[in-house]
Structure 1
Amino acid sequence: MPDPDKVARLQAALDAYESGTGLFDREREEALAPVRKRALGLLDQRARSRSELRERLIKAEFEPQLVDEVIDGLAGSGLVNDAQFAHEWVRQRAARRGKSARALDMELRDKGVAGADRTAALEQISEDDEERTARAVASKAARKVRTAPADRAEYDKYLRRIVGALARRGFNQGMALRIAREELDARIAEREQ
């Protein structure tokens, strides 16, 4: 014979479900639906950090409480994950844009990624990788030099352009100057042959 208490609890849960109270709050879901739809649309365009997604949804004039609830749900399902976002951001931007670790760290900080997640993501860039990337950027900038410089002033002008290309990507001054000189000197030697 079934337990009368268990039957009563099951009946109460069924009644609550059918009346729209208890297990499923229809009004709450209707309030969350447009926020969720907009969040998923933003995530469909590209991965975003939790902070970046929150900022965009608040800017779209959704209530902060609803935004936080939607983002918590998306984080719970793995669709919003700052550690994964930071790792992928670093991997792609270092390879495609020739950005330094320092520049990538600043970008991730601007996107609201926590320090521990930024540090873990940046560990995938070694000093050798950083130097190789800087050298590729400097080499590309040096290829714009068509003729050997006529004097020191023209040499310095070319050097400033190459160092500027490296500085805009966040490479430190010492490395930028050293690599820029090496690549410019190699390009001048090429042009003089």
Structure 2
Amino acid sequence: MNRARPAPELDPDANPASVARSIVLRQLTNSAKSRHQLAQKLAERNIPEDVAEAVLDRFESVKLIDDAEFAHMWVRSRSMHKSLARGALRRELAEKGIAPDLAEQALEQIDDDIEREQGKDLVRRKLRTSIDLSDRAERDKYTRRWVGMLARKGFNPSLAFGMVAEVIDESRQDD
């Protein structure tokens, strides 16, 4: 059974700042992290708050922690590879502790037309030739499914309905 282990206590003989630096460096080696995420890791390892703040401030001053750059990279990656829309990306950035103004700046890099095409491509990938879109009940059923999928990806529901309708119209014209 995979149970979560309690955070190890800080060795009384260890220098808390040294331990904190090691933790942060190890975390940053795996992947980029926001300051908030790193602060959570330090808290889990029982690093005193004042020591954690000092270490994180130092890492920020030498540009090893940069929430603005992290947000830009996160948005670019998740938009491209996961086809997430602004709504989902905004939520993810908030969960990672990114300030709303930094999140909005990062989200500006997403082009409306590209986002719309990504949503339509998601629906096209789900569209199978065995689906009879001329049958109203069948069309409605799949419209609800695809709009739900797009909503989970962060697309505005009214925009999602429009994208699904366009893909259905394209498909019916091809038949």
TM, length-normalised to structure 1? 0.78
| Residue 144 of structure 2 is aligned to residue 160 of structure 1 | yes
Q: For 2:139 and 2:16, how far apart are their aligned partners in 1?
A: 64
Do 1:35 and 1:57's aligned partners in 2 also have CA atoms closer than 8 Å? yes
More helix by share: 1
RMSD in angstroms over aligned alpha carbons? 2.1
Q: CA deviation at 1:60?
A: 2.2
Choose 80-89 or 112-121, whichever is displaced more. Answer: 112-121
* Paired residue type of 1:45: N
Alignment of 1:1-193 (within 5 A): 30-142=15-127, 144=128, 146-149=130-133, 151-190=135-174, 192=175
Q: Secondary structure at the match of 2:15?
A: helix
Work out the number of aligned pairs and report it.
Answer: 164
Q: CA deviation at 1:145?
A: 5.2
Do 2:131 and 2:138's aligned partners in 1 also have CA atoms closer than 8 Å? no
Do 2:119 and 2:163's aligned partners in 1 also have CA atoms closer than 8 Å? yes
Q: CA deviation at 1:149?
A: 4.1
Q: CA deviation at 1:186?
A: 2.7
| Paired position in structure 1 for 2:6 | none
Do 1:99 and 1:170's aligned partners in 2 also have CA atoms closer than 8 Å? yes
1:135-165, CA deviations, whole angstroms, 9 ceiling, x for partnerless residues?
A: 22222222x4523247322111111121111
Do 2:35 and 2:65's aligned partners in 1 also have CA atoms closer than 8 Å? yes
| Paired position in structure 2 for 1:22 | none
1:109-146, CA deviations, whole angstroms, 9 ceiling, x for partnerless residues?
A: 1111112211111111121122122122222222x452
Do 2:16 and 2:48's aligned partners in 1 also have CA atoms closer than 8 Å? no
Q: CA deviation at 1:53?
A: 1.1
Unmatched 5+ stretches in structure 1: 1-28
Q: CA deviation at 1:86?
A: 0.5
Choose 81-90 or 124-133, whichever is displaced more. Answer: 124-133
1:24-72, CA deviations, whole angstroms, 9 ceiling, x for partnerless residues?
A: xxxxx93211111111111111111111110122122222121111111
Relative contact order: is structure 1 or structure 2 higher (C-alpha 8 Å, sep ≥ 6)? 2
Moved over 2 A (4+): 144-147, 184-190
Q: CA deviation at 1:188?
A: 4.4
Instruction: From the CA coordinates, give the structure whose radius of gyration is larger.
Output: 1
Unmatched 5+ stretches in structure 2: 1-13
Percent identical across equivalent pairs?
Answer: 33
